[in-house]
Chains A and B, each alone.
Chain A
Amino acid sequence: MSNESTTQNFMIEGANCGSCVAKIEKALKNVKGAQRVEMNFADRTVQVEGCAKAKQLMQAVAEIGYQAKPMNSDSQQDALDEKAEADNAHYKKLMRNMVLALGLGAPLMLYGLIFDMSVTTQTQRIGWFIVGVMTLVVMAVSGKQFYTGAWQSFKNHTANMDTLIALGTGTAWLYSMVVVIMPSILPEVARHVYFEASAMIIGLISLGLAFEVKARGRTSEAIKRLIGLQPKTARVIRDNQEQDIAISQVVKGDVVRVRPGEKISVDGDVIEGSSTLDESMLTGEPMPVNKGEGDKVVAGSINKSGTLLFKATHIGSETTLANIINMVKRAQNSKPSIGRLADVISGIFVPTVMIIAVLAGLAWLNFGPQPSIAYAVVAITTVLIIACPCALGLATPMSIMVGIGKAAQSGILIRNGEALQTTAKITTMILDKTGTITAGKPTVTDVVTFNQSDSTEVLKLAASLESGSEHPLAEAIVNFAKNKNITLEKVSDFNAVTGQGVLGTINEQNLLFGNQALMKSHSIDIAKAIPQAEQLASAAKTPMYFAIGNQLHAIIAVADPIKEDSAEAIKRLQNKGIQVVMLTGDNQATAKAVASKVGITDFIAQVMPDDKASEVTKRQSQGEIVGMTGDGINDAPALAQADVGFAIGTGTDVAIESADITLMRGSLHGLADAIAVSGATITNIKQNLFGAFIYNIAGIPVAAGLLYPFFGLLLNPVVAGAAMALSSLTVVTNANRLRYFKPSKS
C-alpha cells in the first residue's frame, strides 16, 4: 500500500515570502519517493506526487523552519500502516527484553534446580552479590517499563499491572539482597536467594506481552479489511481532462471514471456505462450486482467487467463505507452488560491484591513453619505476580472486537455490545412481510373487471388515483400503467385512509381503490367479486378493489415475490427454537398463503402500521425476548420497541444506524447469522470471563499458600510469572478463535 503513488496535499505555515517557495519545493523533492512537487504560494499549499511518506515530507519541511500540515487528515490506511509499524517495533523491543531477562533467569533457575541457592559461605556471598547486581541491571533494562509505569501510577494514586510486577519482582530481589548483604539478621535456614525469580518473571511477562501485541493486531483484522477497501486515488474528469487525484480531493459532483478491476472511490450515481460490481465486502452478498445508468454505486465495491462513469454524491466521511467503518469501530469498543462485573472487579483489583499479599505474608510470619520469613517472601511475590488484572479486563473487549468485526464481514452491522448480547437471547422473531420475507417489489399480476369495464380505462384511473400515494402497492400499479404507455390524469380531492386505501375524484367521477374495509365503509357491494378475490389471495396475491361511484368495477391483484431463500432462513431460525411471527397489513388470505409458503404458522394480518409496535409489546409482556425485523423506515416504532431491532436492506441502500442491527444483505439468512455470531461471541466472552475469574479466584489463594497446610503445596514465583504471561495471551487467543467461526447453514 505504502508504495502506491499518490497525491498528497499540505498546508504550509510560516511561508511569508516568495523565496520560501523554492526552498520548500527543494526540500520536499529531496525526500525519497517524492516525484512532482508543486507549491501554490497564494493559498500556501503544496502538492506532492509520488510514494513519499507524509511523515517524512512534514519532517523535511520542519527541518527548514516551516510547518507542513496534511490537508484532510491522514487516511485511515496510513494510520493503520503506522500502527502496524509501531506494533512491530514494540514486539521486537519486548522480544529483546525477554531474551536478556531469560538469558540470566533460565541458567540461574537451572542452577537452583541442581544446587541449593542458599548463602552460607563468604565466597557464596560474593558470588551471589555479583548475580544480584546483574539481576538489577536486567531488571532496569528489560523491565524498565514496568518500574517507571508502576512509579507513575503510584504518584497518580492508581495501581495497575506494572505495580504488581514491580512489587513482586522488587520484593524477591530486595529479600535476596538482604540475604547477601546482611545474612545475620535472618535465621540460617532462611538465607536463600530468589534472583532467578525476578529475572524469569520479567522475561516471561515480556514474552507474553510480545505475543499479545501480535495477537491483538489480529483482532482488528475486520476493520483493517474494511479500511483497505477504500482506494487512495480516484480518476476524475475535470474540464474534459482525466486526472488521478487523492481521494480527499474529490468533491461532490465530480465525474469519476472507474475501469474494470478498480475499486469505487466514493459513493455516486452512474451516469454512463454498465458493469457488474462486487459488493460482497460491504454486504456479505456473494453475487455481483449489475449496475447501469441511474444506479447507485458505493465506495469500496469492486468493478468487475465494464467501465462506469458516475457522479460523486457522497464523499469522505459521508460514504456508506465510512459510516460502516465508524459504526463497527464504535461498536467494537462498547461493552455488553455481561462484562460489567469484571469491570467493577478490575477497577479495584490491584490494591485488593496488594492487601491480600500483605495478609498472606503476615499469615506465614505468624503461623508458618520455619523459615517463615522465606515462605512469606515467596507467598507475597507469588500472590502479586499471579494476580492478573489483564485477563479479567481483556476478557470482554477482545471477544467483542472479534465478534463484531466478524459480523461486519458478513454484512451484519451490530450497533453495540449490548445489542449483541440481547440478540443471543432472542426467543421470538417478528418479521414484517413486505420487503423482509418478500422482495418488496410488488408487481401487478391480474386485472379482473366487472360491469363491462374496460381494463385499460380501469388501470388508467386506478394508476392516476394511486400516483399521489406513497404505498409500495401504489408504486406497482403506477409502474404497470406506465409500462403500458397509459397517460395518467389529474386527481382532485385525493385522500388516503391508513390501512384501507385511497379515494379521489377524476373528471367528476368519485373513485375508490383499496381493500374490503374501504369498500364496506362506503357501502359498495362486492359480493360477486369475493370468490375471485379469495382465489387470488390464496395464491399469495393481494387483491384490491376499484370502484367508480357506488359500483365495483375491478379487482387489481398485486403480488410481491417471496425472496428465494426466505423459507430456508426461517427454518434456520425455527431450528434454533425461535418462534417466528409474521406481521402484515395485507388481508388474511394473502397473509396465510405467504406464511404457509415460508413455513410460518403464527401470523397476523391486517395490522395497521402503528399496531406493529403494540404487537411487539404484547409479546414482550408474555416474557418473550423479541427481535423485530423490518425495512427500518416504516417499522421504526416497532424496531425501537423490540429488544433488538433489525433493519434489513437490499444491497447498500439501507439506512445504517436506524436499528440495533443492520443487515446489509437482503437475505433473511443474515438474521440467523447475526444470532449465531452473537451467540458464539457471548459464549466466547463467558469462556474468557470464566477463565479469568477461575484463574484469579483459584490462583491467588494457592499462591498465598492456602493449600500448604493440606498438601504442602506452595507455588514457585516463576510458575506464577509464566501463568501471568499465559493468562492474557489465552484470553486474546481464545477471542481470536472467533475469527474462524462459521454459522451453520441449517
Chain B
Amino acid sequence: MLLINLLGVLLIVAIIYWFWWYEPNKVNSDSNQITITVSNGVYSPAYIKVAANTPLTLNFNRQDSSPCAETVIFPTLELSETLSMGENAPIEIPALDAGEYAFHCQMQMYKGKLLVY
C-alpha cells in the first residue's frame, strides 16, 4: 500500500512538472510570416519568439475539425479570427513591445504564446 501511495504522489508530481513547470520549446522566427498549424488539439508551433517593434503576419492553418479550433483569440491585443478548415487565415500582428502575448481558443484548450523580445 505504501508503494501505491508513493506511486500516486509521484504521479501527481509528474503531472505538475509536465503540464505546469516545464518550459516548452520555443520556435525562433526572424521571418515576419509565420504559419501556425491547428491540428489535433494544439497550435504548432505554440511558443514563438519574435523580435519587438516589427509587425508580422501569423497564418493560422486549421486542420482540426473540432469546433473548439474554430476561433483564435489574442485577448491582450483585442484580435480574433474565425478559422476555416484547410485554409490559411492571416492575422496581422502590429509591432509589439517586448513581453508575452498569449493566444488561445475560446475555451483555452488550445494555447500558445508570442514571446516578443
A residues bordering B, Cβ < 8 Å?
79, 82-83, 86, 89-90, 93, 145, 148-154, 156-162, 209, 212-213, 216, 329-330, 333-335, 343, 346-348, 350-351, 354-355, 358-359, 361-362, 365-366, 389-390, 392-394, 397, 416
Contact = CB atoms under 8 A, between A and B. Distances in A.
B40 A158 contact: no
B84 A79 contact: yes
A157 B67 contact: no
Nearest to B102: A347
Given A333-B71, A333-B73, A416-B78, A397 B40 contact: no
Contacts of B73: 333
B5 A152 contact: no
Contact of A358 (B11, B19, B80, B109): B11
B93 interface: no
B39 to A, nearest CB: 7
A156 B46 contact: yes
A287 B18 CA distance: 61
Closest 6 CB pairs between A and B? A393-B107, A333-B80, A149-B41, A152-B40, A160-B109, A351-B19
12 contacts: A79-B84, A93-B65, A149-B40, A152-B41, A160-B110, A161-B68, A161-B107, A329-B82, A333-B82, A334-B80, A347-B108, A397-B107
B12 interface: yes
- Counting chain A CB atoms within 10 Å of each CB, the highest count among B4, B18, B68, B73 belongs to B68
- Counting chain A CB atoms within 10 Å of each CB, the highest count among B8, B24, B67 belongs to B67
Contacts of A83: 82, 84-85
Nearest to A392: B107
Contacts, number: 119
B5 A366 contact: yes
B12 A159 contact: no
Nearest to B62: A86
Contacts of B85: 82-83, 86
B57 to A, nearest CB: 14
A330 B16 contact: no
- Counting chain B CB atoms within 10 Å of each CB, the highest count among A329, A343, A358, A359 belongs to A358
B42 interface: yes
Nearest to B18: A157
Given A213-B67, A393-B106, A330 B15 contact: no
Interface residues of B, number: 39
A4 B41 CA distance: 37
Given A86-B85, A149-B66, A362 B42 contact: no
Given A152-B42, A157-B18, A394 B78 contact: no
B111 interface: yes
Nearest to B19: A351
Given A160-B109, A397-B106, A209 B67 contact: yes
Contact of A160 (B41, B44, B65, B80): B41
A157 B8 contact: no
Contacts of B40: 145, 148-149, 151-153
Interface string B62-103: 000111101101010011101011000000000000000000
B111 to A, nearest CB: 6
Given A152-B39, A330-B80, A334-B78, A90 B65 contact: yes
Contact of A346 (B18, B75, B80, B108): B108
Contacts of B70: 216
A394 B75 CA distance: 15
A158 B42 contact: yes
Contacts of B1: 365-366
Nearest to A220: B82
Contacts of B106: 333, 393-394, 397
Contacts of A153: 40-42
Interface in B6-39: 8, 11-12, 15-16, 18-20, 22, 24, 39
B3 to A, nearest CB: 11
Nearest to B78: A334
B78 A389 contact: no
Contacts of A162: 41
B15 A355 contact: yes
B25 to A, nearest CB: 9
Contacts of A394: 106-107
